[in-house]
Amino acid sequence: MSQSPLIEVKNLKKYFTQKSSLFDRKPSPVKAVDDVTFTIEEGETFGLVGESGSGKSTIGKSLIRLHDISEGTIKYRGIDIHNKSKKEMRSLRTKMQFVFQDPFSSLNPRIRIGDALAEPLLDHGLVTKDRVRDKVKEVMEICGLPSYHIDKYPHEFSGGQRQRIGIARAMVMEPDFIVADEPVSALDVSIQAQIINLFKELQEKKNMTYLFISHDLSVVEHLCNKVGVLYLGSMMELTTRDKLYENPLHPYTKALLSAVPIPDPTKRRERIVLKGDIPNPANPPKGCKFHTRCPFTEDICLKVQPLFKEVEKGHYVACHLV
Amino acid sequence: MGRYILKRLAYLIPTLIGASILIFFLYSLVPGNFIDGDPNLTAERKAELYALYGFDQPTIVRYFIWMGNLLTGDLGFSLQFQRPVTEVLNNYIWSSFIVAFASLFLTWAIAVVVGVISATKQYSLYDAVITILVFAAMATPSFFLGLIVIKYFAVDLGWFPAGGMTTTGADYTGWEHVKDVLEHMILPVLVLTMLGIGGLTRYFRTNMLEVVKQDFVRTARAKGLKERVVIYKHALRNALLPAITLFSFELPALFSGAIITEQIFNWPGIGAIYMQAFTVRDYTLLMGFTMFIAVLTVISNLIADILYGLADPRVRVK
């Protein structure tokens, strides 16, 4: 733990400004990510969970600079990636890759998958032209795709196969960090298991580090060793997987966990049902952002935003009541 | 693919028969003809000419005669030129073709580049200026644009000839002749390009905007490819796909001439001839030419479908 972490996110903010109408006094920014801080150690799988609109994907994209950020710093091995020129960033991209949620639309329909996989290798000059086909086949095999598929087009594959292509595409440059943005949510449950196991295998073989974005807590439990819970762009709770699943402290985490089904019909869990929907991020509630839906709201929650504090070693929570 | 093409070719036959019926009867229903237009003819001479050209036959019979001739490649006899229609078309269509081809090439080349840049810099100053210019050019009537261009470039500046296809009285041959024609072409090509470029630029801009937002373009960026490669290889190739169809539709336009522009520049093209044939009611020429364009149109439709299948792997496999 003495060396610096692989990924260090500090006070990350990403505001999207809405185009205001002519008569608006001032445009109200949507605070998609509002002051989020965390680190990812090498070889770790960091799970990011939260409802739709909580800012999970925005954080993921910011981490490999698929868009710019508003404030804060993101460091990869101590390098501030949002401070690099476009050219320097391009070469950094070989080390940081992304697996997209939708395996159907994220592949160019007009390019054979062999060419799609070879393209970044040739473009970055990582492999020579005569070696590239072997390299692509090798990565395909590692990702569970028979190499005779190399000259097929994306539409000739099933959803699970396409997601394997998506993973192979990310792996081909031998990155050490991959952001996986809900990589299994578009797949059938049986296929989900295969893909999750593939992620695990690759991690063991290649010592990968993942940021795994998901809204499925059972997937996260299976795969991650550290978990961050997001709500309306803010981190609510952050700790190791074991602590989070055994001893959740934030009411939001408790509610999410209570909704995970137990694979045993005789056991019942007391469900905490949240009222209402996630509020509009352009106009988040004052005080604690969660107070509108929290079953334990007190006066202080309406007025003061809780600090993100370490309540026990390696367990951070933003709640007044903890 | 072979079977598909055969099937599509078979469909062409009823389409063309339908087109021939429409074309023939529309022109036959119009009262008057070439002979009636001449007030100096005696009734006797008129009847003679009617019999000579077959105008005394019932319309249905005339249709089948016309159709029979069509099948042998004979488009009829132009009364105005006193020559076969095919010969007249062959005489004038090529001068229209060179102008149309040059302007088509320029229009597409410029529209692709301008549209792509306009899309990648959406809402920028460049985008706004281009949009205004392109709409202004598109909205100006060709006769107005033509006259303005003649006024500035031919009369005031004297850079280019004001009209015609060759310099009057000059009898150039070989390379000199080519240069002379090129010089005369520039202004009509300029006008046609300005008129055509607007819609196409907007088309490419919209297409590109749509494709650039697709996930696979984001994937290409995540690969760390150069922005140029992302735009021109991944995005543009997909944006060009629907344009194949559009491009095939330009085939008839290459041969149909530009009626107004050719009149203004006194260009001896088929558009001008077409207009003239109307005023003297030379219906055989009109029918022959319209039928020719109809054939080109259905063929270009077929080509569009085949090309689309070749270009898109998703269509190809089926």
SS (HEC) of A15-61: EEECCCCCCCCCCCEEEEEEEEEEEECCCCEEEEECCCCCCHHHHHH
**B229 close to A (CB below 8 A):** yes
For the residues A94-123, what does the mean pLDDT come to?
Answer: 90
Single-letter code of the amino acid located at A49: V
Contact A110 B237 (CB under 8 A): yes
Q: Would residue B247 count as lying in a domain? A: yes
CA-based nearest residue to B186, from B171, B169, B164, B170: B164
- Report the percent of chain B where pLDDT is more than 70: 98
Contact A199, A210 (CB under 8 A): yes
Residue from A104, A101, A82 nearest A162 by CA: A104
* Over residues A105-128, mean pLDDT: 90
CB atoms within 10 A of CB B15: 14
CA atoms of B134 and A108, how far apart (whole Å) = 31
Position B189 in a domain? yes
* CB within 8 Å of A150: residues ≥ 6 apart: A112, A113, A114, A133, A136, A137, A140
pLDDT at B264 over 90: no
Look at residue A207 and tell me whether its pLDDT is greater than 60. Answer: yes
| Chain A residue nearest residue B313, CA to CA | A110
Instruction: Report the amino acid identity of residue B232.
Output: Y
Report d(CA A245, CA A129) in Å as an integer. 49
Please give the mean pLDDT across all residues of chain B. Answer: 85
Nearest CA in chain A to B226: A90
A2 has a pLDDT exceeding 60:
no
Give DSSP secondary structure letters for B220-246: HHHTT--HHHIIIIIIHHHHHHHHHHH
> Residue B243: inside a domain, yes or no?
yes
Looking at residue A40, its pLDDT comes to 93
Q: Looking at residue A1, what is its pLDDT? A: 45
Given a contact cutoff of 8 angstroms between Cβ atoms, the answer to whether A229 and A238 are in contact is: yes
**Quick one: average pLDDT of B222-234?**
86
How confident is the model at residue A135, as a pLDDT? Answer: 93
Tell me: pLDDT of B317 over 90.
Answer: no
Q: What is the pTM of this model?
A: 0.76
Measured CA to CA, the distance from residue A217 to residue A230 in angstroms comes to 13
Q: CB-based burial of residue A131 (10 Å sphere; 0-12 exposed, 13-18 middle, 19+ buried)? A: exposed
CA B75/CA A20 separation, integer angstroms: 64
What's the average model confidence in pLDDT over B190-194? 90
Q: Residue B206 is part of a domain; what is its CATH number? A: 1.10.3720.10
Closest CA to A164 of A187, A148, A140: A140
Q: Which of A106, A110, A124 is the closest to B313 by Cβ?
A: A110
A169 lies within 8 A of chain B by CB: yes
End-to-end Cα separation, chain A, in angstroms: 28
Give the C-alpha separation, B27 to B281, whole Å.
Answer: 10
From chain B, the residues in CB contact with A64 under 8 A are 222
Q: H or E element: which one contains B6?
A: helix B2-29
Alpha-carbon distance B30 to nearest alpha carbon in chain A (angstroms): 52
Q: How far apart are CA B199 and CA B131, in angstroms?
A: 10
Q: Is the pLDDT of residue B318 over 50?
A: no
Total domain count, chain B: 1
Identity of the residue in B225, B229, B314 whose CB atom sits nearest the CB atom of A109: B314
Residues in chain B: 318
Q: Please tell me the distance in Å from B315's CA to the nearest CA on chain A.
A: 10
Q: Tell me the pLDDT tens digit for each residue of A285-314.
A: 888 989 888 888 888 888 888 988 898 888
Amino acid in the structure at residue B60 = I
pLDDT exceeds cutoff 50 at A20: yes
Q: Which amino acid is at A60?
A: G
Q: Which of A221, A168, A111 is nearest to B216 (CA)?
A: A111
Is residue B123 over pLDDT 70?
Answer: yes
- Decide: residue B42, CB within 10 A, 0-12 exposed, 13-18 middle, 19+ buried: exposed
**Per-residue pLDDT band at A88 (split at 50, 70, 90):** confident
The CA–CA distances, whole Å, from A114 to A135, A198, B310 equal 10, 20, 20
pLDDT band at A113 (very low <50, low <70, confident <90, very high): very high
pLDDT score of A22: 59
Q: Is residue B71 part of a domain?
A: no
Of A187, A174, A88, which Cα lies nearest the Cα of A138?
A: A174
Calculate what percentage of chain A has a pLDDT beyond 70.
96
For the cut 80, the answer to whether the pLDDT of residue A27 exceeds it is: no
- Mean pLDDT computed over A66-94: 88
Domain that residue B262 falls in: 86-311
What pLDDT, in 10s, does the model give residues A245-296?
999 999 999 988 888 878 787 877 778 888 778 888 778 888 898 988 888 8
Nearest CB among B222, B224, B312 relative to A124 is that of: B224
Residue B202 pLDDT more than 50? yes
Query: Does the pLDDT value for residue B18 go beyond 90?
Result: yes
Helix B283-311 with B236-256: angle, nearest 10 deg: 160
In the predicted structure, residue B243 carries a pLDDT above the cut 60: yes
Contact A71, A253 (CB under 8 A): no
Q: What is the mean pLDDT of residues A132-146?
A: 92
Q: Is the pLDDT of residue A136 over 90?
A: yes
User: What pLDDT, on a 0 to 100 scale, did the predictor assign at position A47?
Assistant: 94
Contacts of A216 (CB under 8 A, 6+ apart): A184, A185
CB contact under 8 A, B215 and A123: no
pLDDT band at A210 (very low <50, low <70, confident <90, very high): very high
Residue B247 pLDDT class (50, 70, 90 cuts): confident
Is A25's pLDDT higher than 70? Answer: no
The answer to whether residue B44 sits within a structural domain is no
**Domain annotation covers residue B289:** yes
Average pLDDT over residues B229-257: 84
pLDDT at A115 over 60: yes
* ipTM metric: 0.76
Least confident of A234-243, B100-109, B228-237: B228-237
Mean pLDDT, rounded, for A226-244: 92
As a whole number, mean pLDDT of residues A167-171 equals 91
CA–CA separation, A59 and A72 (whole Å)? 12
Give me the mean pLDDT over the A56-82 stretch: 90
Using the beta-carbon criterion (under 8 Å), do A108 and B221 form an inter-chain contact? no
The Cα B268–Cα B99 span in angstroms is: 11
Q: What is the pLDDT of residue A26?
A: 63
pLDDT score at B251: 85
Tell me the mean pLDDT in the region B294-306: 87
Is B222 within a domain? yes
Whether A15 and A32 have beta carbons less than 8 Å apart is answered as yes
